[in-house]
Chain A
């Protein structure tokens, strides 16, 4: 299983590509809603991308209150 830093970096890479935001502008503790300027619908599309990349299922209700990449990575780690 990859460590939390590896998972976090992979999420940052996915978010950067998916939302066409320069990778260097994204950090693990960023609020992704604010930083990416996305709403829940766009966050859901990122979730779909993440599920495909990590080959996991992550019920959206597990993301209740999750707004930063690092915590998102922790949720993903629990499914790997």
Chain B
């Protein structure tokens, strides 16, 4: 399928680049609607990539790239379940999202996240699967999970460890603070910072440049410099599923759900 428009995202192949656009209100929260469409995308990817050396992931939502997992749905779905059922339900979701993230991470083409605004939690983790992150100057990155009694569950810690120094990883994870695009670039997370509203244009220009290179060589280089940390990803799933049924998480999620604020866990 060369193009697709679903409830939460769309994709199209144009000028040798695949563009995957997230578009679910309010800010592309990833839940039971988005996950199957992401799975459809990675299923379609082998055919799509035959004609494209690059993939750009971006967002059509004004608020940002992606605010992460759909925590309201996570909370509501877990109500009434006992601890083992809750863990089993979450594990099923997490295993599926990890398969998507791993497929994107290891996809045999160059992947670019063109981000703006909120790049939080699972949205940050989605961006981390990409080879390059190109950020609008107003983008903001954050792993707020510890504020909810959790750790990132979509592969964030192993991928952050792969890409950044451990002191930066600890700072982001243990403080849960958000950082701006300039800071993200200074620590090596972001490859280019653009003017407001310009990330997608710059990503397209970068994709066009990639298209000039020998594809086989680019793929060999990618395999060499971007190994997928499978063992640590597996470990992260186990820790996340262990933590999810703790009372502190229940309490944190309830507080989140009951708040009417856009980002109840901030500041």
Contact = CB atoms under 8 A, between A and B. Distances in A.
Contacts of A59: 175, 177
Interface string A55-77: 00101111110000000000000
B182 A52 contact: yes
Interface residues of B, number: 21
Contacts of B179: 57
A40 B267 contact: yes
A44 B264 contact: no
B138 interface: yes
Given A52-B180, A61-B177, A41 B267 contact: no
Contacts of A52: 137, 180, 182
Contacts of B182: 51-52
A58 to B, nearest CB: 10
Given A48-B140, A60-B266, A61-B267, A41 B178 contact: no
Given A40-B267, A41-B118, A60 B178 contact: yes
Majority SS of interface residues in chain B? loop
Output the residue of A45, A60, A64 with the most chain B CB within 10 A. A60
A39 interface: yes
List the 4 closest A-B pairs by CB distance, nearest first.
A41-B262, A60-B267, A59-B177, A39-B262
Interface in B166-213: 175-183
A63 B267 contact: yes
B25 to A, nearest CB: 13
Interface of B: 63, 117-118, 137-138, 140, 175-183, 261-264, 266-267
B16 to A, nearest CB: 33
A44 B266 contact: yes
Given A40-B262, A52-B180, A52-B182, A61 B175 contact: yes
Which one of B137, B175, B262 has the greatest number of beta carbons of chain A within 10 Å?
B262
Given A40-B263, A44-B140, A48-B140, A57 B183 contact: yes
Contact of A48 (B63, B138, B177): B138
B206 to A, nearest CB: 23
Contacts of B178: 44, 60
B139 to A, nearest CB: 8
Given A48-B181, A52-B182, 20 more contacts: A39-B262, A40-B261, A40-B262, A40-B263, A40-B267, A41-B118, A41-B261, A41-B262, A41-B263, A43-B266, A44-B263, A48-B138, A48-B180, A52-B137, A52-B180, A60-B177, A60-B178, A61-B175, A61-B176, A61-B177
Nearest to A64: B267
Interface string A19-62: 00000000000000000000111111100110110000101111
Please indicate which of the listed interface residues A48, A52, A62, A63 has the most CB atoms of chain B within 10 Å of its own CB: A48
